Amino acid sequence: MKYETVIGLEVHVELATKSKIFCSCSAEFGGEQNDHVCPACAGMPGMLPIVNKKVVDLGMTAGMMLNCDINRVTTFDKKSYYYPDLPNAYQTTQWFAPICVNGRVDIETSNGPKSIRIKQIHMEEDAGKLVHDDWTDTTLVDFNRTSVPLIEIVSQPDISSAEEAIAYLERLRDLLRFAKVSDCRWEQGSMRCDVNLSVRPVGSDKLGVRSEMKNMNSLSAISRAIKYEIARHTKAVENGETLIQDTRRWDDNEGKSYAMRSKETAGDYRYFPDPNIMPVVIDDEWFDGIKATLPELPEVKRAKYIDELGLSEYDADQLVSSRALCDVFEDAVAVCGSAKEAANWIITDCMQVLNKKKMTADMLDINGTSLGQLIKLVSEDKVSRGNAKRILAAMFENHIADVEAYAKEFGFIVSNDTSAIEAIVKEAIASDPKSVADFKAGKEKALMALFGKCMKQLKGNANPQVLREILIAEINKA
Ligand code: ZN
Ligand code: MN
């Protein structure tokens, strides 16, 4: 008999907000333990939640990127359970009217394109973190992550292999990062995945008994875990064993899953409407405002960069790998008019600076308009390439609104004053008769030595072509 796998994924994504979902504490990753905490997110009596509007903005953005319908009246509910990292003993989430429903994500697989339906996206708060200290045999709790805003993206059980799961998760990550919903970093826990999986005979319309693996945090672990579970389920079904619906832990080092507990059902959580939070009503103005901020999809930009702007496929791929690169690129091209140059400056020079700072492409935070001005100054021979790189480095530290004024102030403008260049050339020739003689004897390299000396004296601010011409003319006179 042949079997097929049925997989549904629940993906938690931390939203890119400055503050938490119901209070003004910082939502930033890390920090000193229990530094981002106030009475509200510590669950003190009498504290009331206030919904962070940005959370709703980003929830809506995610839904629009994933082709969902947006519920114009969306409400929050309490999910009751106790755990030491949850000070309220309930999680505020959405159960009865989640913000987004009925979406779709299109993926590419080795069997061709496939659509994965999205059941819903709901907004909720994250829990804190337990810190197990092996030295003192104690467990401590860190509430920094408590009430950091999340969306949970629940797929329909449309996924049938590890390959499809990975394609779906990669596409999800690309879309959410492109729309600046989240940085989606598996390694920092801002993207996490629960895998629900069952196996049934091909042709059966009845679902098999499913197991759930929670809080998976890397694509490779997810892929291995799915393959392991498919084998485990198939073997059990073939042997006529009774599977138990359970929640399992994946041990990536051992390459095995272990049962943690039999699966709880929705009823166990006693969901009920949170009486402290008014329904959120999304009017047309709010809805349309968010719609207007949606970015073009990466593949649309890619085609545009190649077809309309004449970039190579390689350059286009590099740029669309990050929304930040696209934004800087498009602003720069609008000013300098050269797509090829702007792409080069971003892919080569900007990436070099980022690498040195151990930053990723997403962290590129320079002003594209200023970069465009800089590229223009170089193409007009007003600033040398070497000095332009210095100006670029300064742009990473401070916003430079008027690049030409900045170049003037710091002596980075190429001199058109040939008499000044001549004076320096004469000095160099007089101080280095050996190089002069070598050059006259046919040693091309000797010219470079003199050229370098002069350029250094001129602080790089000479047109190389002009300097070279003057140098040769003066040597011939000498
Ligand atoms: Zn707080
Ligand atoms: Mn959840």
326-383 pLDDT per residue, tens: 999 999 999 999 999 999 999 999 999 999 999 999 899 999 999 999 999 999 989 9
pLDDT at position 218 is: 94
Q: Point out the domain boundary residue: 355, 387, 409.
A: 409
Asked whether residue 223 falls in the same domain as residue 94, the answer is: yes
In the chain, the number of structural domains is: 3
pLDDT at position 455 is: 87
Distance 126 CA to ligand 2 centre (A): 8
pLDDT of residue 416 exceeding 80, the answer is: no
pLDDT at position 266 is: 79
| Ligand minimally distant from the alpha carbon of residue 92 | 2
pLDDT at position 283 is: 98
| Ligand minimally distant from the alpha carbon of residue 93 | 2
For residue 287, is it within any domain? no
pLDDT at position 315 is: 97
Distance 153 CA to ligand 1 centre (A): 25
Domain, as residue range, for 180: 3-281
CB count in 10 Å sphere of residue 240: 6
CATH number of the domain enclosing 463: 1.10.10.410
Question: Element (H or E) spanning 373, and its range?
Answer: helix 368-379
In the predicted model, what is the mean pLDDT of the chain?
93
pLDDT of residue 159 exceeding 80, the answer is: yes
pLDDT at position 365 is: 92
> Which tops the pLDDT comparison, 229 or 410?
229
| Ligand minimally distant from the alpha carbon of residue 88 | 1
Distance 10 CA to ligand 2 centre (A): 8
For residue 75, is it within any domain? yes
| Ligand minimally distant from the alpha carbon of residue 128 | 1
Distance 127 CA to ligand 1 centre (A): 12
Q: Point out the domain boundary residue: 247, 281, 315.
A: 281
Q: How far is CA 279 from the centre of its chain?
A: 31
Distance 254 CA to ligand 2 centre (A): 27
Q: Which two tokens stand for residue 88?
A: 């309220």
Asked whether residue 248 falls in the same domain as residue 181, the answer is: yes
pTM of the model: 0.85
Distance 123 CA to ligand 2 centre (A): 8
pLDDT of residue 62 exceeding 90, the answer is: yes
pLDDT at position 418 is: 83
Report the number of secondary-structure helices (H) and strands (E) in the chain: 16, 16
For residue 20, is it within any domain? yes
Distance 193 CA to ligand 2 centre (A): 10
Distance 200 CA to ligand 2 centre (A): 27
Q: Point out the domain boundary residue: 350, 382, 409.
A: 409
Distance 214 CA to ligand 1 centre (A): 26
pLDDT of residue 264 exceeding 80, the answer is: no
pLDDT of residue 132 exceeding 90, the answer is: no
Asked whether residue 390 falls in the same domain as residue 422, the answer is: no
pLDDT at position 460 is: 84
| Ligand minimally distant from the alpha carbon of residue 50 | 1
Question: Are 24 and 34 spatial neighbours (Cβ–Cβ below 8 Å)?
Answer: no
Average pLDDT over residues 28-43: 94
For residue 286, is it within any domain? no
pLDDT at position 137 is: 86
pLDDT at position 419 is: 85
CA separation for the pair 262, 244 (Å, rounded): 7
Asked whether residue 376 falls in the same domain as residue 232, the answer is: no
Asked whether residue 149 falls in the same domain as residue 251, the answer is: yes
pLDDT of residue 134 exceeding 80, the answer is: no
Distance 64 CA to ligand 1 centre (A): 29
Distance 25 CA to ligand 1 centre (A): 4
Q: Give me the residue label for tokens 């931390």.
A: 14
Distance 270 CA to ligand 2 centre (A): 15
Distance 216 CA to ligand 2 centre (A): 13
Asked whether residue 148 falls in the same domain as residue 192, the answer is: yes
For residue 130, is it within any domain? yes
Average pLDDT over residues 7-17: 97
Distance 29 CA to ligand 1 centre (A): 14
Distance 283 CA to ligand 1 centre (A): 28
> Which tops the pLDDT comparison, 125 or 238?
125
| Ligand minimally distant from the alpha carbon of residue 151 | 2
Asked whether residue 207 falls in the same domain as residue 232, the answer is: yes
For residue 160, is it within any domain? yes
For residue 290, is it within any domain? no
Q: Which two tokens stand for residue 167?
A: 């394609």
Distance 216 CA to ligand 1 centre (A): 27
Distance 152 CA to ligand 2 centre (A): 5
Helix then strand then coil, % of the chain, to nearest 5:
40, 20, 35
Q: Which DSSP state fits 461?
A: -
Average pLDDT over residues 425-430: 90
pLDDT of residue 458 exceeding 90, the answer is: no
pLDDT of residue 1 exceeding 80, the answer is: no
Asked whether residue 246 falls in the same domain as residue 168, the answer is: yes
Asked whether residue 430 falls in the same domain as residue 449, the answer is: yes
Asked whether residue 438 falls in the same domain as residue 361, the answer is: no
Q: How far is CA 141 from CA 122, 144, 150, 238, 306, in A?
A: 26, 9, 20, 44, 51
Q: What are residue 329's DSSP bridge partners?
A: none
pLDDT at position 417 is: 78
Distance 26 CA to ligand 1 centre (A): 8
For residue 343, is it within any domain? yes
pLDDT of residue 206 exceeding 80, the answer is: yes
pLDDT at position 420 is: 83
Asked whether residue 401 falls in the same domain as residue 423, the answer is: no
pLDDT at position 441 is: 87
Asked whether residue 243 falls in the same domain as residue 339, the answer is: no
pLDDT at position 8 is: 97
Distance 86 CA to ligand 2 centre (A): 13
